[in-house]
Structure 1
Amino acid sequence: MDVMEEASRREALGQEIIHMEIGQPGARAPAAVINAAQEALANGYFGYTEARGIKALRDRVSRHYRETYGVDVPESRIIVTTGSSAGFNLAFLGAFDPGDRIALTSPGYPAYRNILKALGLEPVEISVGPETRWALTPDLLERSHAEKPLAGVLIASPGNPTGTMMRPDALKALCESAQELGIRFISDEIYHGLVYEGETATALRYCDDAIVINSFSKYYCMTGWRVGWMIVPEALVRPIERIAQSLYICAPDISQRAGIAAFDATEELEIVKAGYARNRALLLDRLPKVGFQELLPVDGAFYVYAGVRSFTNDSSDFTRRMLAEAGVATTPGADFDHDRGNGYLRFSFAGSHKDMIAAMDRLTAWLK
């Protein structure tokens, strides 16, 4: 956010900035979504919905899991949320007690630990690296649990900032390990749909009592609509429903109605995804030529997490200089990994292909 603020300040002064710091699609919401919203607006009335979301949307999410993953999820276990952010708050409040310890991977999305701390829970960051393909393993989980018991574990696949995805067998092994240890499993699946290599699997295939969180923000290009969903065990439905009623009543009515249409916009969304794939190929080709020799596996999402040790030991300063001198905005790794983040930065390739080419040209000139 600091990088984006500085980039905006520079743009206001006339500098042309290429944005690769923001983790959101550059494309607008699909036409079907906009049409559904316009139709709803024409009817002229929006109100509170059930805290769990309108049944038509819950039914459509249930159908999505059946068609996409071959998993039967009753609509009664689906809760529509105000984006995935609300899903994390609800999951943490509904599944844990103050002081509980929740395992996270490092590098990882910083909001996880921030939300946990704000709610009186203890984030336990477990470092992962190339030896485990940047994924949490049963051994690492068991070792941490043995040191001091864990109440939960949260994984993201594909992940932010890396874009790296757990293979189905690795996800299965981790789910089974968590179940054996009595650790609640939470799976962040908001980048599902944006996978370029490998097979996508939902944690629900291996752990029926997992909490799964997803969103319309990434694949469906609906960040500003603030609507997502979570799937929870039956025992948590009522507690989470009551918490949701107290915290925000319901997700936006218009966004829920539009969200139903998003599932039928696959053709348009796959065109957007093809654009990401083209950008991904460009960055994976050109970044090493510029000098970024360490690139983590980019299986999905729209990020490249790149090592900068050949240039600097301070990625935050490197990011500031890149912005000021090359006009390219990226995110320093310190946000995602307190211990090793100074050696990395994150490029988002969710923008236009023209911008990605221009960014690589600028970096080439800047790093000569």
Structure 2
Amino acid sequence: MTDLAPDALMPFLAMDILKRARALEAQGRSICHLEVGEPGQPPAPRVLEAVAKALPEPQGYTNAKGTTELREGLARYYQDQHGVSVDPELILATMGSSAGFILAFHTAFKPGARIAITRPGYPAYVNTLLGLGFAISEIPVSAANGWHLTGADIAQAHARQPFDGLLFASPANPTGASVDRAGLADIVATCARLGITFISDEIYHGLDYRGPSVSALELTRDAIVINSFSKYYCMTGWRIGWMVLPEAMIRRAEILQQNLFISAPTLSQIAATVALSERDYSEEQKASYAQNRALLTQGLRELGFDLPSAGDGAFYAYAGISSFSNDSLAFCESLLETAGVAATPGLDFDRSNGNGFVRFSYAGTMSTIESALERLRGFLR
């Protein structure tokens, strides 16, 4: 476990790579985008139709929690997908999961509280917590265990340095690791026993390749659950997500929402409400990700990348590059400039051991994956 100082704020390297890739495209270069977790397809057609129909009308603020229609739709989602009854009044629509994290931290913890996260993990966790003045403990996970976090890992880390909360994602970014029901139950029970507030990041739910995603709400009502329409519903730029909170926290979260964000974007809430009924479309996209996953995994292994696991979910390959480099940032910068393939250095997700890894996203099209593999072959020669 490692601790990070408040002045350890770093750039979000995936976004820096994207910025440079866009600049190269503006110069006429062809770029294969494997750097950001962004679906290659638009939202479902009915989503776009609903937004087009709403556009002529004035779009004012909504209730700070979100429209009644959206929150009731989300309550039905939990009943249908997870078999749990959720009061719509405990649901809050957010400006993407990013706003959800900010609201969760300020709702559940006092300034300076210590929050644990896994390493490797989503870089915005680190930078958001540090930027807001919270302390961080990192719990390392490894490829040897399929990048899975266990209750024992949490207990050992807590014994060394107690922490107030745990933020955990399943499926995870960048590894794609996803715990099963028993694994999540172990994590939830360990947090309850140690008095740790559990925040469940479920933004890649629906993108499990082994079976249905398991929500923390199936196991406890004491957790804060954060989800998003960005990934499964192909709505990254719409900036719309949601939270489910324990009853004791919902009013504080609502007050923070009123003052920090007022409400989630109205048009995006309209779109999200329709998207919930378009799961057939989302499942079609998931099927294409599964094909991309198989293609990219095989291709990377043939090229000499270290990739013992294809990942349980999400749409990322977190591949070892020890055969080629010990500097993931330099590797990715050279790969982009020389071969026109944009990928994210592992340093973004793991400041201690990330130089040995690169994350490739397979959320785009199969043709992009095929072109990227061909360019990688030439680059590695």
Report whether the alignment pairs 1:278 with 2:291. yes
Report whether the alignment pairs 1:75 with 2:97. no
Q: Report the equivalent of 2:371.
A: 358
Separation of aligned partners in 2, 1:148 and 1:15: 49
Q: Report the equivalent of 2:6.
A: none
Residue 249 of structure 1 aligns with an amino acid whose one-letter code is I
In the superposition, relative to structure 1, how do residues 138 and 149 fare at CA in structure 2: closer, same or farther (>3 Å)? same
CA contact (8 A) 1:4 1:22 kept: yes
CA contact (8 A) 1:195 1:299 kept: yes
Q: Report the equivalent of 1:229.
A: 242
Q: Report the equivalent of 1:21.
A: 35
Report % sequence identity.
49
Residue 20 of structure 1 aligns with an amino acid whose one-letter code is L
Separation of aligned partners in 2, 1:346 and 1:198: 23
CA contact (8 A) 2:143 2:308 kept: no
TM-score (norm 2): 0.94
3-state SS, counterpart of residue 243 of structure 2? strand
Report whether the alignment pairs 1:98 with 2:98. no
Separation of aligned partners in 1, 2:335 and 2:223: 41
TM-score (norm 1): 0.97
Q: What are the residue-to-residue correspondences of 1:121-200 with 2, within 5 Å?
A: 121-200=134-213
CA drift of 1:14 comes to 2.2
3-state SS, counterpart of residue 155 of structure 1? strand
3-state SS, counterpart of residue 318 of structure 2? strand
Residue 32 of structure 1 aligns with an amino acid whose one-letter code is R
Separation of aligned partners in 1, 2:310 and 2:211: 11
3-state SS, counterpart of residue 26 of structure 1? coil
Unmatched tracts of structure 1, length 5 or more: none
CA shift digits 1:131-168 (9 cap, x unpaired):
43212211121122222321100100001111111121
CA shift digits 1:214-237 (9 cap, x unpaired):
001111011111111000000000
Q: Report the equivalent of 2:7.
A: none
Separation of aligned partners in 1, 2:212 and 2:19: 37
CA shift digits 1:294-323 (9 cap, x unpaired):
344411111100000111111111111111
CA contact (8 A) 1:32 1:264 kept: no
CA shift digits 1:187-237 (9 cap, x unpaired):
000001112124420011112110000001111011111111000000000
CA contact (8 A) 2:100 2:243 kept: yes
Count of residues paired in the alignment: 367
Separation of aligned partners in 1, 2:337 and 2:353: 24
Q: Report the equivalent of 1:333.
A: 346
CA drift of 1:261 comes to 0.4
Q: Report the equivalent of 2:21.
A: 7
| Higher mean C-alpha displacement, 316-325 vs 126-135 | 126-135
Separation of aligned partners in 2, 1:91 and 1:296: 32
Cα RMSD of the aligned pairs, angstroms, is: 1.2
| Higher mean C-alpha displacement, 1-10 vs 336-345 | 1-10
Separation of aligned partners in 1, 2:168 and 2:138: 11
CA drift of 1:263 comes to 1.1
Separation of aligned partners in 2, 1:348 and 1:295: 17
Report whether the alignment pairs 1:294 with 2:298. no
2:272 to 231, 252, 259: 259
CA drift of 1:130 comes to 2.8
Q: What are the residue-to-residue correspondences of 1:312-351 with 2, within 5 Å?
A: 312-351=325-364
Separation of aligned partners in 1, 2:66 and 2:308: 40
Residue 331 of structure 2 aligns with an amino acid whose one-letter code is F
